[in-house]
């Protein structure tokens, strides 16, 4: 299958700082990228959907000013967690899709805010 690379795999940051997570589609052009969050022992929860060159669409309850999403090219999307707090500690996963076909996932980023 297609390859989606997410970086970093894990990050520890201090409370109040911002963290940027990158998601790249390595061998295809991703017209749509998705960002998910997963808390321990829970399923993936969709945070937002972004189409290249457009503003992201956020799911209900997800603060767009706190979770900044940029999808400036067909191979790169970034998620910035601004002013991170311990409750933002989670496993963040991106997914990329070309057209209507199946989506492929990155390996995830474990964020720990201390």
Partner 1 sequence: DAKTTQPPSMDCAEGRAANLPCNHSTISGNEYVYWYRQIHSQGPQYIIHGLKNNETNEMASLIITEDRKSSTLILPHATLRDTAVYYCIPRGAGNMLTFGGGTRLMVKP
Question: Out of 15, 46, 54, 85, which residue is the one contacting partner 1 (CB under 8 A)?
Answer: 46
**45, two tokens:** 């929860």
Q: How far apart are CA 84 and CA 16, in angstroms?
A: 5
Q: How far is the CB of 35 from partner 1 (least distance, A)?
A: 11
Closest to 88 in 3D by CA, of 42, 38, 49: 38
Q: How far is the CB of 68 from partner 1 (least distance, A)?
A: 20
Closest to 19 in 3D by CA, of 72, 98, 74, 85: 85
Question: Out of 6, 25, 50, 78, which residue is the one contacting partner 1 (CB under 8 A)?
Answer: 6
The SS3 call for residue 87 is helix
Question: Out of 44, 62, 68, 74, which residue is the one contacting partner 1 (CB under 8 A)?
Answer: 44
Site residues (CB under 8 A) for partner 1, limited to 67-106: 91, 93-95, 99-100, 102-106
Residue 41: count of CB within 10 angstroms of its CB: 5
**6, two tokens:** 């997410």
Question: Out of 14, 43, 60, 87, which residue is the one contacting partner 1 (CB under 8 A)?
Answer: 43
Q: What residues line the site for partner 1 (CB under 8 A)?
A: 1, 4, 6, 34, 36, 43-46, 49, 91, 93-95, 99-100, 102-108, 110
């Amino acid at each position: 299958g297609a390859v989606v690379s997410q970086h970093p795999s894990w990050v520890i940051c201090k409370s109040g700082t911002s963290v940027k997570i990158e998601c790249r589609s390595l061998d295809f052009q991703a017209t749509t990228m998705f960002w998910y969050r997963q808390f321990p022992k829970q399923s993936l929860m969709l945070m937002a959907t972004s189409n290249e060159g457009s503003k992201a669409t956020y799911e209900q309850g997800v603060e767009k000013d706190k979770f900044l999403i940029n999808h400036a090219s067909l191979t790169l999307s970034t998620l910035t967690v601004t002013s991170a707090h311990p409750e933002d500690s989670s496993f963040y996963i991106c997914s990329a899709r070309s057209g209507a076909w199946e989506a492929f996932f990155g390996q995830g980023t474990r964020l720990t805010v201390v």
